[in-house]
Structure 1
Amino acid sequence: MLLSLSSFAQRGTVEIIKDPRIDTLIARRFAPTRGAGNTNSTYSSLGYRVQIYNGSNRSDAYIAQAKFQDQYPNIRTYITYREPNFKVRVGDFRTRLEATKMMQELRQWFPLMFIISEKINPPKLDTDTQP
């Protein structure tokens, strides 16, 4: 017996319209990670922060953080402690140029600053979809 199968298909075009931020999120999700035990690797990437304080006095670290947040309330700040020093770092800059610009703006308030390369948090996405 000879069995003949035929299939019918429709031809046409499909247009996909999507937000370009989706490609960015997908690229971050599948980016290679450094280090095997890192659980935050899919939510962070390498970037730069500006260190505005380094010292052993805890209250001075919080004062430096508050002083920065008064001037720049929308930029994240991070306080870390590694014995015996507290460090206050600001920003999540993707490029060294962005960090350098911030450092120049802060010169008058914080004379001793450094640009630190480390894992940064992704920027906040604007999810407001109101017209």
Structure 2
Amino acid sequence: MKFLTKKKHIGLLLTLLITSGFAFAQNEADKIEDLISQKRSYNQQNKNTIVYKIQLYNGVETEAYKIESNFKSVFPEYKTNIIYKQPEWKTQVGNFETKLEADRVLLLIKEEFSGAIVLEDLI
């Protein structure tokens, strides 16, 4: 009889441990979901999105515009921008969402504009 009582006690103890473990895991899952929700909210309020641009030229203004004109005649499907960041003018192409996408376009562009590079930028 004592053996059965000990078995019941051990079974009860194991049941309590297992249920408390499930409750703990559920509590942790709720915390993780809450953190994910907070991160989404933060990202919506702080729209600092990383984009990739291809820089064709960095230097004087007249050359930047000449490079842009040449680029548009060869690659009319891509959007170009002329940017002035003191003390230099930059001719840049696109806002690519991924580095892979920018690298693929870079391979095409490098045939005509060998000095082109991919840059990361925040918008």
- Do both proteins adopt the same fold according to a TM-score greater than 0.5, normalized to the shorter chain? yes
CA RMSD of aligned residues (A): 2.0
> 1:1-131 alignment to 2 at 5 Å?
31-33=44-46, 41=47, 45-55=49-59, 57-119=60-122
Cα distance in 2 for partners of 1:74, 1:107 equals 16
Deviation at 1:54, TM superposition (A): 0.6
For structure 2, the residue ranges without an aligned partner over 5 or more in a row are: 1-39
Aligned mates of 1:119, 1:76 — CA distance in 2: 17
Between Structure 1 and Structure 2, whose CA radius of gyration is higher?
A: 2
Count of equivalent residues: 82
Structure 1: gaps of 5 or more residues? 1-26, 34-40, 121-131
Deviation string 1:17-60 (CA, Å, 9 cap, x unpaired) is xxxxxxxxxx8xx7241xxxxxxx3xx732101001011x2111
Q: Which AA in structure 2 matches 1:113? A: A
Provide the rounded CA distance (Å) in 1 between the counterparts of 2:45 and 2:69.
Answer: 36
Task: Report the CA distance between 1:116 and its aligned residue.
Answer: 1.0
TM-score, with structure 2 as normaliser: 0.58
% identical aligned pairs: 28
More deviation, 84-93/44-53: 44-53
Q: CA deviation at 1:74?
A: 3.0
